[in-house]
Amino acid sequence: MYHINILDLHFKGAKKVIASFLISHGDTHVLIETGPESTWNSLTIALGKHGLKPGDIDAVLLSHIHFDHAGAAWKLAEAGARILVHPLGIPHLSKPERLWQSAARIYGEANMEQLWGKMNGIAANKLVATSHQEKVCIGELTFSALHTPGHASHHIAWQLGQNIFTGDVGGVKISGGPVVPPCPPPDIHLEDWKKSIRLLMDRKPEKLYLTHFGEIAHPVEHFQMLEKMLDDWASWMKVHYEQETPIDEVKRAFMAYTARQMEKQGADENLQALYEYANPSWMSVSGLIRYWKLKEKNYI
């Protein structure tokens, strides 16, 4: 039987913001998500606690290519691991310049390295394209790739037995706080996201593993909350989009709105800060406004 270990990568020195999952079965070791390169040190320390080095990892399964999930994949590839990702993610991982530039437009070039560390390209012979419902066998472990767009067009949730590793399509929930949907640009798609939630629920998972952060024992309630919040945030944003409120004003108002939501659900300031590390609210403003804009023009 395999073991699932949650590795805390201590992003920004905080606990329970970004996870990587180590799944071990005999001599087979698989990582789901790598975190960014900036937390490489934490990752190697966490692997060391299990008696492992990066070179012991056989394969890395990525949910998507955002830096907080995939930023350190190139280092594991250099250490020998195969990197599995949706086909649309392959060109970005082999030549990450465009990915880096588009993240720099969101976060600001000056903040990039401190937040995410470095990103180098991955050799073509280490990258494996994986699409919907493909079964991936690594040693005696069999994973199913579930294409689950909505948060990112190339998003994959990984199923192992009745466990699903949900990447970001399963939302963010930290330390018993509320469930929230991370909505960064450029791929947010409400209808796709809801379809993905349905697809995951149809699999009747017993447990979910969220990259932000950890194990969820009640998947049905979790997904219901996620869908409710997705609708709530999207309709809040639609009003401001239609009123053409200046973007900085929307960001301020949305941060105040989500802070109130958090307080109502019992999240204190410290917990709210962790949510902001994992899923900055200002970023969801850009993502959801873009969604409504594209929708109005019938582009999506």
Q: State the residues that interact with Zn ion by CB under 5 A.
A: 66, 168
Cβ 152 to Zn ion, closest distance in Å? Answer: 6
Answer whether 5's CB lies under 8 Å from 22's CB.
yes
Kindly state the smallest distance separating residue 50's Cβ from Zn ion, in Å: 26
CB 136 to Zn ion: min, Å: 21
Distances (CA, A) of 12 to 16, 38, 39: 11, 9, 8
CB of 141 or CB of 174, closer to Zn ion: 174
Is there a contact between 143 and 28 (Cβ–Cβ < 8 Å)? no
Nearest approach, Cβ of residue 269 and Zn ion (Å)? 24
* DSSP structure string for 225-243: HHHHHHHHHHHHHHHHHHT
At its nearest, how many Å lie between Zn ion and the CB of residue 168? 4
Look up residue 38 and give its two tokens.
């900036």
Contact 285, 174 (CB under 8 A): no
Q: Which is nearer to Zn ion, 29 or 212 (CB)?
A: 212
* Nearest approach, Cβ of residue 58 and Zn ion (Å): 24
* 255: nearest Cα among 275, 238, 270: 275
Closer CB to Zn ion, 24 or 196, in the complex: 196
**CA–CA gap between residue 243 and residue 222 (Å, rounded):** 32
Closer to Zn ion by CB, 141 or 233: give it.
233
Q: Considering beta carbons, is residue 141 or 146 the nearer one to Zn ion?
A: 146
Residues 6+ apart with CB under 8 A from 46: 7, 8, 9, 20, 22
> For Zn ion, which is the closer residue by CB, 66 or 189?
66
CB burial string 3-20: b at 16+ within 10 A, e below: ebbebbbbbeebebbbbb
Least distance from C-beta 172 to Zn ion, angstroms? 10
Residue nearest to Zn ion (CB): 66
Q: Please choose, from the candidates 91, 218, 210, 86, the residue with its C-alpha nearest in 3D space to the C-alpha of residue 148.
A: 86
Query: Which residue, 29 or 173, has its beta carbon nearer to Zn ion?
Result: 173
